[in-house]
Structure 1
Amino acid sequence: RQCTPEQRGALTRRILLVALLVPALAPALGGLLVQWLSWRGVLWASLPLAVLAIALVLAWMPADGLRSAPRLQGYALATAMSALGALLLALTWLGEPGHRFAGAGLLLLAAVLAVAHLRNARRQPQPLLRWSLLSHRGLRMAMLVYLAVPGVFIGSQLASTLQLNHAGYSAAQIGALMLPWALASALAITGSRRLLACFGPGAVLRLGMVLQASGLLLMALQSQPPFTLAATLFALMGAGGSLCSSTAQTLAFHGVDAEALGDASALWNLNRQLSFCLGTAAIALLLALAMQWWPAHATGVALGLAAVLTLLPLVLLRRSQLHSLSTPETA
């Protein structure tokens, strides 16, 4: 709300540079901490960063931002959190032979809780989450893209870490592979404005998905990739994933009324965080099943399936008229 629609494209790129580069650099530092100290060092290192974040929130956030906040709806919050928690745990247990029946039961429970939450939301004049905003084509497509591209990439790191560890890579070397990913991400984010203006969001999203899927598929075909090749494939995934992330965030809020921006932001951020959780849970499930059925090629199978998941939004892009949507820079 603090920016005009014309300023939101630049704001998006600034936010994404932090949101993507910091998590990209963190694994390199985490790998060093694990190698030099222990895995506990990673958790201790988070404490001063959390304290700093709290201090910055207190110093920078406007004091009047909460005056008109609606009353928190306990039932809606409880059903939403319980449904998401049950879904994530169900995906985890479905990959374990001794817990598959319980996982199926949790999956059914998650569906029941989700239906209860949505029925309650329809009766509320101001629902906790304004699901009716999903009728906005750009927001709906952006949320799907985030699930299929950044979310799947985060999950794919489970498989690629195992693959690289079996190939003899140290924790520091595996973490360092996120550095070329970060560099390619920065280039993609800064170049996304020109690409959107020249080719439109649909073409940029397709390019990003193909780049990330290509990197995942080529990684799946390598049993012992040399460091240079692995770095190149991570750069390919970084460029593709960030083209999709930047374009998706631009689309998510384009054309949304000013009074609905808060509700749209809530849906967008919930989906963004859920993408990382669901992506990890989904690839972990695929990896667990592959380890049971094809143990010699489990990581390759999981990475190959991750490439397929990355390309799923292409089907909907063909049916939509997303290319006709203008971006803030070209509006």
Structure 2
Amino acid sequence: MSAQRPDQLSDPSAKSSDLSQRALLWIVASGFFMQTLDTTIVNTALPAMAHSLGEPVLNMHPVVVAYTLTMASLTPASGWLADRFGTRKMYFATILVFVIGSILCATAHTLPQLLAARVVQGIGGSMLLPVGRLAVLRSVPGAQYIAALASISIAGQLGPVVGPVLGGWLVESLSWHWIFLINVPIGTVGMLAVLRFLPNDLLPAAPRFDVLGCALLSGCMVAFSLALDVPFDDNRGAWSAALFMLAALTVWLYWLHARRHERPLFRLGLFGEPNFSIGLAGNLVCRIGFSAVPFLLPLLLQVRLGYSPLHAGLVLLPAAIAGTIAKPWIAPLVKRYGYDNFLLVNTILVGGSIVSFALITPDWPIALGIAQLSVFGAANSMQFAAMNSVTLKGLNKDDAGSGNSLFSMVQMLAIGLGVTIGGTLVNLFKDPSGAATSFSFQITFVIVGVITLVSAWVFRKMDPRYFR
């Protein structure tokens, strides 16, 4: 890299451009932090929210699902909206909708009101990262783009670490309403920064967006999630079966639609790449299992073991810290043992550690609990990276963007499904009085752990030549 001349170093326009780039990275990183924070901060606050709203705590999991499912449904539209209206306008609107949704969440007086508000918040949250990432791509030179994305990703990793602890602290010190209200000052500063620093990009006319394709896939995700959430008592099995059939119908209709559409949301050729399809299925199955854990553990600790919200949030810290420490191990381990062997062993570790949470009781040694959470956090962190890489690795340049968008949808869908399945299972095995028992949590941890273990079998179906 050549040295800069003194006149370049003192050039006001160069300094202004550098300041704008740094501000842009801070804006996008803050948005990503808010998105990931609100995925996890709610978990430790659910018992307090249930008490305030007069709802059974086992009925509160839709608060998490409504947010993640909305994000999964609308993520594919984010790129087109940014092209159509410009990244500056869209990012400002995205933060504004997110802040409005947060205010509506904090002022909700009933569970239906809170769920509707979480949908509004999810509409904004679905576009915080994709539109922000696009703004960085258009404003940061290619040589600096990878470093810029790496700095943004750090903010995303902090969200799940800070979320449970911050949520617990806010509930104890103030009230559960503040887990949403903290987004208001952050979002307000973000909107002002967008108007000040983001370029007002004027783009040519964007290509037509596949609205019907997006609606069909979104309908499939919603129907499938609701089908799993329907109680199996009170003769509601027929309603659940109807929702499963609706989900299957929308998939079939999308297949017919994509065959005829010139520019479908996701072209069918994507699914013809076997390793991508199998990797996508493995990701979905695996993530369902370990996405249930951040929801189930705070609930178990507070409802059954009597922990305070803050204490429950602090207990989850070992998993987050171990996950951060384990990240540098991924590349050397994959290089030495190969993706196939690494995914087999690591998936067993993740699934086994989830099953082991069934052993947690009031008398369980704290040191053993920390060890369990550390193993889960480290294996979980490495599983994320390995699954992401192995799923997208074989896509060609033309399919990389579309495949990554579909992969993002599946990731968000899996979080919602994990919470839905976890909440449904705890409800299914509750005692006759309607209270969650130790057994209901134990059997739930075993089942979601086994679901994760099944993904090891799915990953073994991938072409061995792909791992060379």
> Does TM, normalized by the shorter one, top 0.5?
yes
Correspondence 1:78 to 2:220: no
CA contact under 8 A between 2:343 and 2:386: conserved in structure 1?
Answer: yes
Structure-1-length-normalised TM-score: 0.84
Give CA deviations for 1:282-331 in whole Å, capped at 9, x if unaligned.
222222222269955000000011110111122233343347424xxxxx
* 1:196-235 matches, cutoff 5 A: 196-224=334-362, 225-235=364-374
Tell me: CA distance 1:42–1:203, structure 2 relative to 1, closer, same or farther (3 Å): same
Sort the Cα spacing of 1:77 and 1:200 in 2 relative to 1 into closer, same or farther, 3 A. same
> CA separation in 2, counterparts of 1:199 and 1:61?
46
Structure 1 residues 319 and 144, CA, compared in 2 at 3 Å: closer, same or farther? closer
Instruction: State the distance in 1 between where 2:356 and 2:182 align.
Output: 34
Distance 1:8 1:312, change over 3 A: farther
Q: Which of 344, 368, 375 is equivalent to 1:236?
A: 375
What's 1:329 paired with? none
Q: 1:279 aligns with which of 418, 422, 431?
A: 418
User: Aligned equivalents of 2:192 and 2:340: distance in 1?
Assistant: 40
- In structure 2, the partner of 1:306 is 448
The residue aligned with 1:172 is 310
Letter in 2 for 1:199: Y
- Deviation of 1:130 after TM superposition, in Å, equals 2.5
Deviation at 1:185, TM superposition (A): 1.1
Q: Distance in 1 between matches of 2:355 and 2:408?
A: 29
Mean Cα deviation higher: 11-20 or 279-288? 11-20
Q: Which residue pairs with 1:247 in the alignment?
A: 386
Are residue 156 (structure 1) and residue 156 (structure 2) matched? Answer: no
Find 1:266's aligned residue among 399, 405, 410: 405
Q: Which residue in 2 is equivalent to 1:318?
A: 460
Partner of 1:102: 239
172 and 61 in structure 1: CA distance in 2 versus 1, 3 angstrom threshold = farther
SS of the residue 1:215 aligns to = helix
Task: Confirm or deny: 8 A CA contact 1:287 1:298 kept in the other structure.
Answer: yes
Larger RCO (alpha carbons 8 Å, 6+ apart):
1
Summarize the Cα distance change of 1:124–1:61 in structure 2 as closer, same or farther, 3 Å threshold: farther
- Decide whether the 8 Å contact of 1:90 with 1:103 is kept in 2: yes
- For the residues of structure 2 that align with 1:106 and 1:57, how far apart are their CA atoms? 42
Shift of 1:63: 4.5
CA contact (8 A) 1:21 1:186 kept: no
Instruction: Report if the CA contact (8 A) 1:188-1:242 is conserved.
Output: yes
| Greater CA drift, 288-297 or 154-163 | 288-297
The alpha-carbon deviation at position 236 of structure 1 amounts to 1.3
Alpha-carbon offset, residue 228 of structure 1:
3.2
5 Å-filtered alignment, 1:11-26, equals: 18-26=155-163
5+ residue gaps in structure 1?
327-331
Deviations 1:49-90 (A, max 9, x none): 4556667888579948x7574311222222222221121112
Q: Give the letter aligned to residue 392 of structure 2.
A: F
Task: Name the Cα RMSD after superposition.
Answer: 3.2
CA drift of 1:174 comes to 1.4
Moved more, 217-226 or 276-285: 217-226
Identity %: 23
Aligned match of 2:184: 47
Question: In the alignment, residue 148 of structure 1 is paired with which amino acid?
Answer: V
Q: 1:22 to 1:260 in 2, by over 3 A?
A: same
Rounded to whole Å, the distance in 2 between the matches of 1:195 and 1:55 is 45
Opposite residue 394 of structure 2, the aligned amino acid is G
After superposition, the Cα gap between the structure-2 partners of 1:136 and 1:57, relative to the gap in structure 1 and judged at 3 Å, is farther
In structure 2, the CA distance between the partners of 1:221 and 1:55, relative to structure 1 (3 Å rule), is farther
Per-residue deviation, 1:227: 3.6
Matched, 1:291 2:430: yes
- The structure having more radius of gyration, on CA atoms, is 2
Which stretch shows the higher mean deviation, 300-309 or 11-20?
A: 11-20
Contact 1:290 1:298 in 2 (8 A): yes
> Residue 192 of structure 1 corresponds to which residue in structure 2?
330
